[in-house]
């Protein structure tokens, strides 16, 4: 057997560089590069391996500012590439490693592949406790990296070089399995990373991971077709799985052929153009009146590639018809079985093709399709009004969304994650392109926005990426602006400053908690946080990081600045203050946020009474 003598760190880098993914005959590089922040836990192991790779034209290394952010960037990269490619992330031990745990949870929840390589404590334990080592008196084999186990779809710790080949192969299998994918973590003890071993040369050959289009079980298709044929008011709920499977064309055909309107989840908002007569837009707690009215009366709901999040079902209230039934097309049996649905465990495209054959000759009533088109057209009038509110003295967030929608045109990508922006975008964004809508709402993680924008732009350098970030999220993690500047990666960042947490302020008010602790204010004379606004200057902050900054006040200034930002050749931040009290148009959907059952405040008691009334609408969907 031919062998190659390399350290574990060098072997990992060389192996990753040789991995490929393939679907429908097209090959991709599976791991396009590696983000990292070095410390004693990886500098001499993986760090040395990455240096040799850079000098030899191997795996590309990029320096990040924050380990959480680099995982977000890798995740956004994978999402933009429809999960066919991703990035690896290397960290030191201890805090560098645990900083990645939040990113791991986000990737796993969103079903997005990302490879995490945290350093770990000495396998030999000679230098125990090394700097940053957690000591558990009752278990010497535990390190902080065990925190990755519940948030990873695969976890291994390579205590000995001999274990590496099986760990790497298993990691690639999970990354490329559409039903299992998520964060994949290989913890690498710092001494093991530097250790040399004679590896079989075979380990480093180019390896292709074929991503299957799993066909559905014919009996499952028959059951699904029977349920759909019995429906008078069917509704499709399209999720991110439709996009990852590249099934948007199949969805359009299917909906059109059978006359079934489509509601979209956050991850599925790119599945159909906003002006398709069968596109009812966003569904659920942040839904449109069109989709939610159709949902309220739907008798059969066909979920495609959705994990049925709480927001999608408006906390199990949006599907209100007695006896409503579900059909779930999903590549993961875990998701296909939800809402007690008829499960079709398959790739979305393969399942739609099979189901279309089984439904041949059937169609919804013309009156139903006309009603769906009318509801969607009415919602578009609402959107137009929201885009042109002309709120004074500070514009409404909906007006900002309108301008970004216009300026980003057909090929821009809008990206957001937390605050009031995701809900407003879900309702109001006019989707024109499948990749144009990137809102992370599985974990809705403040701080994803700028880091995610970096990853999306790396994955799609030909597109303009418009990052929509609130002041709260900006303050939580704007660090990767520096990475964008360093790498010459151009982002357009729209910083919407409403001096605090507008979303949680509104939520707080609705649950009787009086916007407590949600705006950025000094302490007032009574010792409470109700004084003047804090003098934070986020525009100056961005400029200090090397970003080109355009400050705007009115909506006209904002439009001009955004056009300028689009034309600029470097990362540009457009700053605007908005009115936190100007919310998006309602769709009367509910979200279950439990209110204090007892309390001294009248606001709490009133909110509790409304809460108990709303709870009555909740359905088990059994
Ligand atoms: C990491 C993290 N911490 C806390 C939250 C809860 N949370 C959701 S939105 C929000 C406020 C976001 O503020 P900002 O970015 O200014 O957006 P706005 O609500 O003002 O639109 C908070 C605290 C979260 N989603 N993520
Ligand atoms: Mg804010």
User: For the segment 193-211, what is each residue's pLDDT rounded down to a tens digit?
Assistant: 999 999 999 999 999 999 9
Chain-centroid distance of CA 145 in Å reads: 23
DSSP string across 47-92:
HHHHHHHHHTT-S-EEE-S-HHHHHHHHHHHHHHTTTS-EEEEEE-
Angle at 506 between CA 502 and CA 510, to 5 degrees: 165
Strands annotated E in 158-261: 183-189, 196-200, 207-210, 234-238
Residue with tokens 């875990």: 334
Long-range contacts of 518-526 (CB under 8 A, 24+ apart): 519/580, 520/471
Question: What's the mean pLDDT when you consider all of the chain?
Answer: 97
Indicate whether residue 445 lines ligand 1 (CB < 6 A): yes
Q: How far apart are CA 174 and CA 231, in angstroms?
A: 37
Q: How far apart are CA 62 and CA 43, in angstroms?
A: 14
Are 612 and 620 in contact, with CB atoms under 8 Å apart?
no
Indicate whether residue 42 lines ligand 1 (CB < 6 A): no
**104 burial type by CB count under 10 A (0-12 exposed, 13-18 middle, 19+ buried):** buried
Residues with Cβ within 8 Å of 377's Cβ and at least 6 positions away in sequence, in order, are none
Q: Which atom of ligand 1 is nearest to the CA of 469?
A: 15
Quote the ligand 1 centre to 224 CA distance (angstroms): 40
Q: What is the pLDDT of residues 377-415, one digit of tens each?
A: 999 999 999 999 999 999 999 999 999 999 999 999 999
Residues with Cβ within 8 Å of 301's Cβ and at least 6 positions away in sequence, in order, are 234, 235, 236, 237, 295, 319, 324, 325, 326, 327, 339
Quote the ligand 1 centre to 419 CA distance (angstroms): 4
Q: Which atom of ligand 1 is nearest to the CA of 580?
A: 20
Q: How confident is the model at residue 295 (pLDDT cuts 50, 70, 90)?
A: very high
Quote the ligand 1 centre to 279 CA distance (angstroms): 29
Indicate whether residue 446 lines ligand 1 (CB < 6 A): yes
Are 45 and 8 in contact, with CB atoms under 8 Å apart?
yes
**Cis omega (within 30 of 0) for bond into 175:** no
587 φ, ψ (degrees, to nearest 5)? -130, 20
Q: Which atom of ligand 1 is nearest to the CA of 475?
A: 15
Are 509 and 420 in contact, with CB atoms under 8 Å apart?
no
Indicate whether residue 503 lines ligand 1 (CB < 6 A): yes
Residue closest via CA to ligand 1's atom 4 equals 446
**SS3 state of residue 491:** coil
Residue 446: per-residue pLDDT: 98
Q: Which ligand is nearest to the CA of 504?
A: 1
Q: CA separation (Å) from 12 to 32, 50, 59, 186, 187?
A: 14, 9, 10, 10, 12
What would the mean pLDDT of 18-26 be, rounded to a whole number?
Answer: 98
Residue 602 has pLDDT above 90, yes or no: yes
Our mutation pick for probing the ligand 1 site, out of 425, 426, 446, 593, counting the most ligand atoms within 8 A of Cβ, is 446
Among the listed residues 270, 276, 208, the one whose alpha carbon sits nearest the alpha carbon of residue 244? 270
Quote the ligand 1 centre to 415 CA distance (angstroms): 15
Residues with Cβ within 8 Å of 109's Cβ and at least 6 positions away in sequence, in order, are 182, 442, 443
Q: How far apart are CA 32 and CA 415, in angstroms?
A: 21
Our mutation pick for probing the ligand 1 site, out of 442, 469, 472, counting the most ligand atoms within 8 A of Cβ, is 472
Indicate whether residue 359 lines ligand 1 (CB < 6 A): no
Q: What is the pLDDT of residues 346-371, one digit of tens each?
A: 999 999 999 999 999 999 999 999 99
DSSP string across 551-619:
E--SHHHHHHHHHHHHH-SS-EEEEEE--TT-PPPP-------PPPSS-S-HHHHHHHHHHHHHHTT--
Are 303 and 264 in contact, with CB atoms under 8 Å apart?
no
Q: For the chain, how big is the Rg over CA atoms in Å?
A: 25
**610 burial type by CB count under 10 A (0-12 exposed, 13-18 middle, 19+ buried):** middle
Facing residues of 225 across strands?
none
Indicate whether residue 472 lines ligand 1 (CB < 6 A): yes
Other beta carbons less than 10 A from residue 141's beta carbon: 11
Q: How far apart are CA 397 and CA 420, in angstroms?
A: 9
Chain-centroid distance of CA 112 in Å reads: 8
335 φ, ψ (degrees, to nearest 5)? -80, -35
Q: Which ligand is nearest to the CA of 468?
A: 1
Q: How far apart are CA 12 and CA 194, in angstroms?
A: 11
Q: Which ligand is nearest to the CA of 419?
A: 1
Q: How confident is the model at residue 497 (pLDDT cuts 50, 70, 90)?
A: very high
What would the mean pLDDT of 544-562 be, rounded to a whole number?
Answer: 98
Indicate whether residue 504 lines ligand 1 (CB < 6 A): yes
Residue 67: per-residue pLDDT: 98
Residue with tokens 């059969």: 300
Q: How far apart are CA 317 and CA 324, in angstroms?
A: 12
Residue 311: per-residue pLDDT: 98
Q: What is the pLDDT of residues 122-160, one digit of tens each?
A: 999 999 999 999 999 999 999 999 999 999 999 999 999
Q: What is the pLDDT of residues 53-66, one digit of tens each?
A: 999 999 999 999 99
Percentage of the chain lying above the pLDDT 90 cut = 100
**140 burial type by CB count under 10 A (0-12 exposed, 13-18 middle, 19+ buried):** exposed
pTM: 0.98
Residue closest via CA to ligand 1's atom 1 equals 446
β-pairing, 183-189 vs 154-157, is parallel
Q: How far apart are CA 479 and CA 469, in angstroms?
A: 13
Residue 588 has pLDDT above 90, yes or no: no
Quote the ligand 2 centre to 494 CA distance (angstroms): 12
Indicate whether residue 418 lines ligand 1 (CB < 6 A): yes
What would the mean pLDDT of 275-295 be, rounded to a whole number?
Answer: 98
Indicate whether residue 419 lines ligand 1 (CB < 6 A): yes
């Amino acid at each position: 057997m031919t062998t190659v003598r390399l350290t574990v760190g060098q072997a990992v880098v060389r192996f990753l560089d040789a991995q490929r993914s393939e679907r429908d005959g097209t090959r991709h590089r599976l791991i396009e590069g590696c983000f990292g922040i070095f410390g004693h836990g990886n500098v001499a192991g993986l760090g040395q391996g990455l240096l040799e790779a850079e000098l030899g034209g191997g795996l590309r290394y990029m320096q990040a500012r924050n380990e959480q952010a680099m995982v977000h960037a890798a995740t956004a990269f994978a999402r933009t590439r429809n999960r066919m490619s991703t990035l690896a992330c290397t960290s030191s031990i201890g805090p560098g490693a645990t900083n990645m745990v939040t990113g791991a949870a986000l990737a796993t929840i969103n079903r997005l592949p990302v490879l995490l390589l945290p350093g770990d404590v000495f396998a030999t334990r000679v230098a125990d406790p090394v700097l940053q080592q957690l000591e558990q008196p009752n278990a010497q084999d535990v390190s902080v990296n065990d925190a990755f186990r519940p948030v990873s779809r695969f976890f291994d710790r390579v205590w000995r070089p001999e274990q590496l080949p099986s760990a790497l192969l298993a990691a690639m299998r999970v990354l490329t399995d559409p039903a299992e994918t998520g964060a994949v973590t290989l913890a690498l003890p710092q001494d093991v990373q530097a250790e040399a071993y004679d590896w079989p040369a075979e380990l480093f050959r180019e390896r292709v991971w074929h991503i299957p289009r799993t066909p559905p079980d014919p009996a499952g298709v028959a059951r699904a077709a029977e349920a759909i044929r019995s429906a008078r008011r069917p509704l499709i709920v399209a999720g991110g799985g439709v996009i990852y499977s590249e099934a948007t064309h199949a969805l359009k055909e299917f909906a059109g052929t059978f006359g079934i309107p489509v509601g979209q989840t956050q991850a599925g908002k790119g599945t159909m153009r906003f002006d398709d007569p069968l596109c009812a837009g966003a569904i659920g707690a942040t839904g449109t009146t069109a989709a939610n009215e159709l949902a309220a009366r739907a008798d059969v709901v066909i979920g495609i590639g959705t994990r049925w999040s709480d927001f999608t079902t408006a906390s199990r209230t949006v599907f209100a018809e007695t006896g409503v039934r579900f059909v779930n097309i999903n590549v993961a049996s875990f998701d296909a079985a939800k809402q007690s649905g008829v499960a079709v465990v398959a790739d979305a495209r393969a399942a739609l093709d099979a189901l279309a054959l089984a439904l041949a000759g059937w169609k919804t009533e013309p009156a139903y399709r006309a009603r769906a088109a009318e509801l969607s057209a009415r919602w578009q009038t609402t959107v137009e009004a929201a885009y042109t509110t002309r709120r004074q003295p500070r514009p409404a967030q909906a007006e900002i969304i309108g301008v970004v929608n216009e300026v980003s045109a057909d090929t821009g990508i809008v990206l957001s994650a937390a605050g009031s922006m995701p809900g407003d975008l879900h309702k109001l964004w006019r989707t024109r392109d499948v990749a144009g809508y990137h809102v992370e709402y599985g974990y809705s993680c403040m701080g994803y926005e700028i880091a995610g924008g970096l990853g999306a732009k790396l994955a799609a350098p030909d597109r303009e990426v418009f990052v929509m970030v609130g002041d709260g999220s900006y303050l939580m993690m704007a660090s990767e602006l520096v990475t964008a500047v360093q790498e010459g990666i151009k982002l357009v960042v729209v910083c919407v400053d409403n001096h605090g947490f507008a979303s949680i302020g509104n939520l707080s008010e609705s649950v009787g908690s009086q916007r407590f602790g949600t705006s950025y204010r000094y302490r007032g004379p009574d010792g409470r946080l109700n004084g003047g606004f804090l003098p934070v200057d986020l525009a100056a902050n961005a400029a200090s990081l090397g970003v080109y900054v355009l400050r705007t006040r009115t909506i006209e200034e904002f439009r001009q600045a955004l056009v300028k930002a689009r034309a600029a050749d470097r990362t540009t931040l457009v700053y605007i203050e908005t009115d936190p009290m100007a919310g998006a148009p309602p769709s009367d959907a509910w979200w279950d946020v439990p209110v204090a059952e007892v309390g001294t405040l009248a606001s709490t008691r009133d909110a509790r009474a409304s809460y108990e009334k709303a709870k009555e609408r909740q359905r088990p969907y059994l």
